[in-house]
């Protein structure tokens, strides 16, 4: 066995593997609607909020990273609280 259960991967490595598999399958990039993206980022949003970060800062960070306009209201509306994330 070459891979151990405790082998870890960075986000970049996971995304690179997904891209390669999708390319091999002839699929394009996977896309996510805004609610799904905010839901996926909710762990990080929660941690930033705990450090005093605002939804405006979260929105600006996402906008900077993606080049797409995100409002603080979008963050608040689509944030998935810990109970939702456990489902």
Question: Which pLDDT score, from 0 to 100, does residue 76 have?
Answer: 97
Q: Do the domain assignments include residue 66?
A: yes
- Whether 13 is in a domain gets the answer no
Q: Tell which residue, 71, 85, 11, has the closest CA to residue 42.
A: 85
User: Tens of pLDDT along 22-43?
Assistant: 999 999 999 999 999 999 999 9
Low-confidence ranges of the chain (pLDDT < 70): 1-3, 87
Q: Is residue 69 part of a domain?
A: yes
Overall number of domains in the chain: 1
Token pair belonging to 79: 């944030």
**Spatial distance between the Cα atoms of 76 and 59, rounded to a whole number of angstroms:** 10
In a domain, 16, yes or no: no
Q: Is residue 24 part of a domain?
A: no
Q: How far is CA 33 from the centre of its chain?
A: 11
Domain encompassing residue 70: 32-86
């Amino acid at each position: 066995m070459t891979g151990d259960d405790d082998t870890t991967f960075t986000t970049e490595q996971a995304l690179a593997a997904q891209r390669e598999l999708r390319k091999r399958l002839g699929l394009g990039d996977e896309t996510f609607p805004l609610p799904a993206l905010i839901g996926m980022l909710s762990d990080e949003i929660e941690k930033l909020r705990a450090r005093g970060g605002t939804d405006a800062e979260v929105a600006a960070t996402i906008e900077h990273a993606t080049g797409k306009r995100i409002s603080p209201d979008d963050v608040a509306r689509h944030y998935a609280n810990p109970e939702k994330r456990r489902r």
